[in-house]
Amino acid sequence: MKSMTDNSPASPERRRFLGAATVAAGVTLAPGVMLVEVAHGRPEDQAASGAVRWGMLVDATKCASGCDECVSACSTENGWTPVAESKHPKQAPQWIRKLELQDPLTQQETNLPMLCQHCAEPPCVDVCPTGASFKRADGIVLVNRHTCIGCRYCMMACPYKARSLVHEPLNDTQKPDVPRGVGCVEACTFCVQKVDRGDGTTACVEACTKAGHNALVFGDMNDPESEISKRLRELPTKQVRADLNLNVGVRYHGI
């Protein structure tokens, strides 16, 4: 080591040391910073950011007939009873469902999951008398369990039939981070608990990917570098009931 008096900024050795230290610090910290950046996880006291617009791409050409992995995964993650196990199927909540479409003329069939479309202009939010239906800054449409009075006006207003009323008392099916309750209306939350935890994806997307179909992509549509943005740029997609001009957060390819 040189003497203290020789400690000038021009010292090449010191410059090398500082450089190495910076690189080392960078290597240590970067993954953490990057992860936070990529996954958009955020602390509880921080509000959702309007810079983000969560969205989903459904590639109906890859959605397999008869497969309902996304539906089961949603039910498991969010704690709602699968309709097949319900004693009251017509009254059972369904946050996501598989739709089978057929053109009666051409016989062409299409499969796709239908869920809350997380509209930028959500009719359910417009009609809710108490403001319990609301849209978060990051585009996720949710229902506040504490102020929903169960009037079901949002269910009348939703063009996608995406909402369900909890018709009977819930027993032990609830998950700690997914509050539900009898008499309240609920719908797909884009797995908001996972999003806020920083998972950066939803249960249905994970299940679809795991099953090898890759029909679903979730991500930040405002980030031009996100996978969903890239795919949306490449694939022609449509909005369901585009005539209503609701600017939905779920875009479909192949419909």
Partner 1 sequence: MASITFREVEGSSLKYWMLFGGIGLFVLFGFLSYLYMHHHGHVVTGMDNQVVWGLPHVFAVFLIVAASGALNVASIASVFNKPMYKPLAPLSAILALALLAGGLLVLVLDLGRSDRLIVAMTHFNFTSMFTWNVFLYSGFFVLVGIYLWTMLDSSVKAYTKVAGTAAFLWRLILTTGTGSLFGFLIARALYGSAMLAPMFIIMSFAYGLAIYLLVLAASYAWTGRPLGDVVMNRLRYLLAVFVAAVLYFVVVYHLTNLYFAKMHGAEAFILRDGGDITTLFWVGQIVVGCVLPLVILLTGLGKQRSWVLVACVLVILGGIAQEYVTIIGAQAYPLEMFPGMTMKSTFYDGVVHDYSPSTPEWFLGLGGVAIALLITTFAVKVLRLLPVSLDDATVAKLEH
Give me the residues that bind partner 1 (CB under 8 A), please. Answer: 83-84, 88-94, 97-104, 110, 114, 123, 125-132, 146-153, 155-161, 163-169, 182-185, 240-241, 244, 255
Amino acid at residue number 218: F
Least Å distance, CB 93 to partner 1, is 7
Least Å distance, CB 61 to partner 1, is 16
Least Å distance, CB 83 to partner 1, is 5
Q: Which is nearer to partner 1, 167 or 210 (CB)?
A: 167
Amino acid at residue number 221: M
3-state secondary structure 214-248: CCEEEEECCCCCCHHHHHHHHCCCECCCHHHCCCC
Q: Which is nearer to partner 1, 120 or 151 (CB)?
A: 151
Least Å distance, CB 162 to partner 1, is 9
Q: Which is nearer to partner 1, 158 or 221 (CB)?
A: 158
Q: Which residues 6+ apart lie within 8 Å of 254 measured at CB?
A: 59, 60, 61, 110
Q: Which is nearer to partner 1, 21 or 101 (CB)?
A: 101
Least Å distance, CB 129 to partner 1, is 4
Least Å distance, CB 138 to partner 1, is 20
> Of 195, 194, 214, 193, whose CA–CA distance to 205 is shortest?
214
CA 250 to each of CA 17, 90, 100, 151, 165: distance values in angstroms, whole numbers, following the listed order? 51, 25, 17, 26, 22
Q: Which residue has the tokens 């021009």?
A: 10
Rounded-to-integer distance, Cα 116 and Cα 161, Å: 8
Q: Which is nearer to partner 1, 26 or 183 (CB)?
A: 183
Q: Which is nearer to partner 1, 90 or 233 (CB)?
A: 90
